[in-house]
Amino acid sequence: MEEMLTFALAKGRLAEQTFDLLENLGIDCSQPRNPGRQLVLRDEKTNIRFILVKPSDVPTYVEHGVADLGVVGKDTLLEAERPLYELLDLGFGRCRLCVAGYPDAPGATVSHATFRVATKYPAIARRWWAAQGKPIEIIELHGSVELGPVIGLSDVILDIVESGSTLRANGLTVLEEVAGDISARLVCNRVSLKTKRERIRWIIEGLERQVLAGAGEK
């Protein structure tokens, strides 16, 4: 029996695209594709387990070593600042991390005493404006962040922009790009990389072949 490997995957589209790649390596992903209420899913033949979790929890499971590998967006990794090995850019889930707001009145949409930033990424926001020496107030939201400037809660947002259609539909525009190379990344626990070297190398090489062949481009 092969040594067990555990994957933590961000629920949703990133997980679905990861299954496409893993199935090409002969890993049966039928259980995690249809998990029902079950939280730990398996492929008995290759002895691989999957846990499907919220994106922001993927780095936590991998850092603690209860998952050997994880697939998560670079945005989540930049926010989490965990000591993980980032092994591979999987090429899908491509987007940009941007500051956005009203085009004509950046920073002046509402008259708050402090410049207000609505975001799902408070740590990234803190670092970005600290580097510019600009004091800000962070308003942490967990979705529909674009509402911030629209409804007068914040001056700008810091969020991911994929097609740009959410910004356009709400009269907002990109003001600054914080990171242009956001995409899904394969990450690994530091100890697992040593103790399960051969198994993990098989996964890395199998995924890398497909990425180089353009399988992840979408």
Site for ligand PRP in 128-157 (CB under 6 A): 143-146
97 binds ligand PRP (CB under 6 A): no
| Cβ-contact 91, 48 below 8 angstroms | no
> How far apart, in whole angstroms, are the C-alpha atoms of residue 166 and residue 83?
33
Options 35, 107, 122, 164; binder of ligand PRP; rule CB under 6 A: 164
Letter for the amino acid at 69? L
Options 166, 170, 183, 210; binder of ligand PRP; rule CB under 6 A: 166
Torsion 21-24-27-28 (CA) sign: positive
Least distance CB 35 / ligand PRP (angstroms): 20
Q: Based on CB atoms, which residue is closest to ligand PRP, 13 or 209?
A: 13
Q: Based on CB atoms, which residue is closest to ligand PRP, 170 or 210?
A: 170
Q: Based on CB atoms, which residue is closest to ligand PRP, 102 or 200?
A: 102
Least distance CB 58 / ligand PRP (angstroms): 15
Least distance CB 167 / ligand PRP (angstroms): 6
What is the number of helices (H) and of strands (E) in the chain?
A: 9, 11
Residue 78 main-chain phi, psi, to 5 deg: -65, -35
| Cβ-contact 177, 160 below 8 angstroms | no
211 binds ligand PRP (CB under 6 A): no
> How far apart, in whole angstroms, are the C-alpha atoms of residue 158 and residue 106?
13
Q: Report the residue number whose CB is nearest to ligand PRP.
A: 143
122 binds ligand PRP (CB under 6 A): no
What the block records as the tokens of 89 is 């850019």
68 binds ligand PRP (CB under 6 A): no
| Cβ-contact 174, 164 below 8 angstroms | yes
Site of interaction with ligand PRP (CB under 6 A): 143-146, 159-166
